Structure 1
Amino acid sequence: MLQTVGQFNRLPNEDPHLRLKFFLEVSDAFKIAGATQDALRLRLFPYSLRDRARAWLNLLPFDSITTWNELADKFLMKYFPPTKNAKLRNEITSFHQLKDESLYEAWERFKELLRRCPHHSIPCCIQLETFYNGLNLSTRLMVDASANGALLSKSYTEAYEILESITNNNYQWPSTRQPAARGSAGVHNIDAITVLSAQVTSLTNMVKAMTAATATVKQVTELSCVYCGEEHDFDNCLGNPASVNYVGNFN
């Protein structure tokens, strides 16, 4: 059963806390008459390790460990040193929502950071504030609207339940725009944004054509008089009766 759950091998992506949790779930499911819980755990723990991790355990001095707590402490000190704890704690306190990351994905990633660093010593209220401040503006507005006010004005329990409710709904109804699907008989379904872009392009071309036509008409009008054909407009033509009357001060 321990091999089925997975043996610890000191790989970079392996979580020692999670491995200890899996080990206890399996080992504590068995009882042997006359054997204490500590003795059973100490006997079974080597079977949860393999390769380099098993070699580390075998190199410990004989009789240097007599209780389960001593073994668990040595295991975590070896594979989860204070430097790694500090690194994960810094990832928690500097949390920010990634680009194109949904609220559900951000919330699950934040909870996973907390789980991977159980000794972060960050109070619950600070955890909530860190996550809220790490969200982008549009997501914060959505969260506050769902909370009927500022989320941080709620208690930790209320805010946690609100976030769980919003993220579950966000997971079931994702807002990310899906790529257009191909229809039957070679007909393609074009989404609304593509249609709108095409319409804007067409409208822009129409405006450019109208502007060019207006400029051409204006240029022709300015260069040729419809009355005498000279290079001036009709209003300034000397043969125009209205212009002659104006020049002679006739009423």
Structure 2
Amino acid sequence: MANDTRTIRHLRARNYDEQPLCIAYPPMGANANFELKEFFIHNLSKFYGHAGNDPNHHLSEFHMMCEGAVPNGVTEDQFKLRAFPFSLQDAAKDWLFYFPSNSIATWKDMKATFLEKFYPDSRHNHAKKAITTVEQEVDETLYDYWERFKQLVAQCPYHGLSGDDLLVNFCQALTQQDQRLVNASTGGGVDNYSVADSNDIIERLASSTRNYGRKQDGGSMNFSSVGASFSPTQKLENDVSHLKQFVASLVNKNQDGGGGQGPQIECGFCQGPHPIETCPIMIEEGIEVENVSAMGHGNYNSRNPSRGGY
């Protein structure tokens, strides 16, 4: 310090050569040179840091985008560390600038730091508990339950459960009806097969129930094509019965005298037993319905003197 002749102003001057970004990019080789294409950046999935965003899903999508885009001679760290900031938006992008400069040097560091922020232990434990305590709903088909279970597993990729543990959790929470179905298809249970074969069997069984609606209280399922728990023959018979009732109600409504249930249809022009639109006299004389509404009551009533015409 005694030999340092720099002024205090010089010592306190800002060092603009420091790297403000937290990422320390790995050095590129002598012959390695690339740029991130605008098309690639535009099509990256975006993560906003909101409560509803799934960070694991975002990382999976980002990995898929990078798989076919890494140029020859460029490492995964070199490419992903440069591309990942462009996938962050709003609060997630602001978060990236809070770290000290050069604190992230590898893609593994970036991934771990990202998950520690947006997928903390509390969220991880909650997702893992959802897998181990899952149950099939009473009115839930095997297909819907299987798809929901797979979604829970995908949302918690670091659950630490083996394949047989997942199968046991899934099968133990089946309804009695679907447990019998799975046991009958596997000769007594999934224990008789490998994990991969058991997954294939359940996948096929679940797909076979995809065309059915939600279960009813009695265990029957709705046909998706008719929307009711009837066979096609029963459905046709019901439709015919309803059609008969509908026609009968129309006939009763349009009949008069003898205890009819509704008023007789009466033409507003000639008072005949037919709608005004089909009046034969109007059709013969070329009179339109709109013109009748503008005529005086006496004019069209004169054709029926018994009703007060002149």
* TM-score, normalised relative to structure 1: 0.67
Q: 1:151 to 1:28 in 2, by over 3 A?
A: closer
Out of 150, 153, 157, which is 1:118 matched to? 157
1:64 pairs with one of 93, 98, 103: 103
Deviations 1:111-164 (A, max 9, x none): 111111111111211111111110111111111122232233333222211101
Pick one of 121, 134, 151 that aligns with 2:173: 134
**Which residue is equivalent to 1:82?**
121
Contact 2:212 2:222 in 1 (8 A): no
Match of 2:308 in 1: none
Q: Distance in 2 between matches of 1:106 and 1:139?
A: 11
Q: CA deviation at 1:188?
A: 8.2
Name the % identity: 28
Distance 1:67 1:139 in 2: 47
Q: 1:10 deviation in Å?
A: 1.4
Do the aligned partners of 1:93 and 1:130 also contact (CA within 8 Å) in 2? yes
How many residues are paired up?
188
Cross-structure match for 1:205: none
Match in the other structure for 2:217? none
Q: Matches of 2:80 and 2:173 in 1, distance apart? A: 41
| 1:176 pairs with 2:222 | yes
Q: Decide whether the 8 Å contact of 2:134 with 2:173 is kept in 1.
A: yes
Q: 5 Å matches for 1:30-41?
A: 30-32=69-71, 35-41=74-80
Which structure is higher in helix share?
A: 1
1:58–1:135: structure 2 CA closer, same or farther, 3 Å change rule?
same
Matched letter for residue 83 of structure 2: L
Structure 1 residues 33 and 155 mapped into 2: Cα distance closer, same or farther (>3 Å)? closer
User: In structure 1, what is the equivalent of residue 133 of structure 2?
Assistant: 94
SS in 2 for 1:176: strand
- 2:161 maps to a residue whose letter is I
- Give the TM-score, by structure 2 length: 0.55
- Deviations along 1:192-250, one digit per CA (max 9) or x if unpaired, are xxxxxxxxxxxxxxxxxxxxxxxxxxxxxxxxxxxxxxxxxxxxxxxxxxxxxxxxxxx
Identify the residue that residue 158 of structure 1 maps to in structure 2.
197
DSSP-derived class of the 2:92 partner: helix
The within-5 A match list for 1:1-251 is: 1-32=40-71, 35-174=74-213, 175-177=221-223, 178-179=227-228, 187=243
Deviations 1:84-119 (A, max 9, x none): 111111111111001311001101111111111111
Say if 1:2 and 1:87 are closer, same or farther in 2 by CA, change over 3 A: farther
> Amino acid of the residue matched to residue 164 of structure 1?
E
Once the two structures are TM-superposed, the CA of residue 35 in structure 1 deviates from its matched residue by 4.2
- d(CA) in 2 for partners of 1:56, 1:20: 16
Stretches of structure 1 lacking an aligned partner (at least 5 in a row): 190-251
Q: Distance in 2 between matches of 1:151 and 1:34?
A: 47
Using the alignment, how far apart are the partners of 2:42 and 2:118 within structure 1? Answer: 20
- Asked if 2 retains the 8 angstrom alpha-carbon contact of 1:2 and 1:26, the reply is no
Helix, strand or coil: the match of 2:103? coil
Query: Which consecutive unaligned segments of at least 5 residues does structure 2 have?
Result: 1-39, 214-220, 230-234, 246-310
Deviations 1:16-64 (A, max 9, x none): 1111111122223224466433122111111101000000012221111
Instruction: Point out the more displaced range, 166-175 or 84-93.
Output: 166-175
Moved over 3 A (4+): 1-5, 31-36, 172-175, 179-184
**Residue 123 of structure 1 aligns to which amino acid in structure 2?**
S
- Alignment-derived partner of residue 229 in structure 1: none
Partners of 1:144 and 1:151 within 8 A in 2: yes
Conserved in 2, the CA contact under 8 Å of 1:129 and 1:152? Answer: no
